[in-house]
Homo-oligomer: A and B are copies of this chain.
Amino acid sequence: MRVMTERPLNAETPTASLRSWITDNEVFFKRNQGQFPDAPINLSQWVLRVDGLVAKALSLSFEDIRRLPKVEVADTLECSGNSRSLLKNKASGNPWTIGGVGNAIWGGIWLKDLLEAAGLQDNARHVGFEGFDKPMGSAGIKFIRSIPLGKAMSSTLLAYEMNGQPLPLKHGYPLRALALGWTGANCVKWLSKITVQEKSSEGFFMDKVYRVFQKGEDPKSGEVVTDIDIKSIIVEPVMDQTLSAGVVPVRGAAYAGEAGIKKVEVSVDHGATWHPAKLIGLEQPYAWRHWEYLWQARTGGDYTIMARATDANGIRQPETAHWNALGYGNNGVREHALKIRINA
């Protein structure tokens, strides 16, 4: 993995591992604000608290969670700042290239089932999440996030399994929120408490970051980063690779958060002409589609390869991303272009 920071751990999925529909847990990208929970979490003592605007607050053991109806779903998780380093106008934050993304099959329960068991009060509008991870810095800031009630009730999982394993510690053991199709920042790890609220949560991780704003603007004036926008990445070939003339497989992934993928097109001439790629592999809600274009590269020279995806709502990836101060959501076609050389 390409490790950007060790403490806290921030590391990309290797490009070769993005070639498979399933991203293996070991290489699945890691993005952490603070440190992992202090002590090993003892499952028999672990308790999840559900409180706030509910009819009856709940304290659930892990066995209680396991007794609720089980769900297994695919979800492609992307870091809000993925591809930030590919922006032409630099933005501050971890220098992700394309590997702040991965796809897994998650097992767990619907958050909806828990909230219905607790009972919602009439003024419930948001659901806040808090984890067992350590508070950060001298101010002791916790990674606290909330999502709107609609998302919580429609398509948010509490996951305890990931690709056939108990959820690994690095991915939030034993329980993690997964707002399906939304960026990783909306998916709190090491869950300790779920609070039903009238207003969205406050604090550094709600108000200062994970918002789309321009330099000089108040971060809080910008929209919160939630659903993943339509994007494609090229995983084969890789940047600056030299290849022999003949069949050159151009392969990648396309994803659009809550939306499906309608089509992917590939250009090998810097965007002058476009060719339809074939969508391959599994098709599942909230999961990426893999795609392939078998390019007949007959003439030697330097080439710029691009891919552009269109989602099921007809929304196409922009030529260049909408820039913002923290470089979130870089889904620009040009920023993701690849230069390669063909030897005739």
Contact = CB atoms under 8 A, between A and B. Distances in A.
A69 B294 contact: yes
Contacts of A66: 249
A251 interface: yes
Interface in A315-333: none
Q: Interface size class for chain A?
A: 35 or more
A165 interface: yes
Interface stretch (A52-60, A217-225, A280-288): A280-288
Interface stretch (A15-23, A148-156, A193-201, A264-272): A15-23
A290 interface: yes
Given A163-B163, A282-B284, A20 B105 contact: yes
Interface of A: 17, 19-25, 27, 66-67, 69-74, 105, 107, 161, 163-165, 246-249, 251, 278, 280-282, 284, 290, 292, 294
25 contacts: A20-B72, A20-B163, A21-B72, A21-B107, A22-B22, A23-B164, A24-B163, A24-B165, A67-B247, A67-B248, A67-B249, A67-B294, A69-B280, A69-B292, A70-B251, A70-B280, A70-B292, A72-B282, A72-B290, A73-B282, A74-B282, A105-B282, A163-B163, A163-B164, A282-B284
Pairs A-B, 10 closest by C-beta atoms: A72-B281, A24-B164, A20-B164, A22-B164, A67-B247, A21-B72, A22-B163, A22-B105, A20-B161, A23-B164
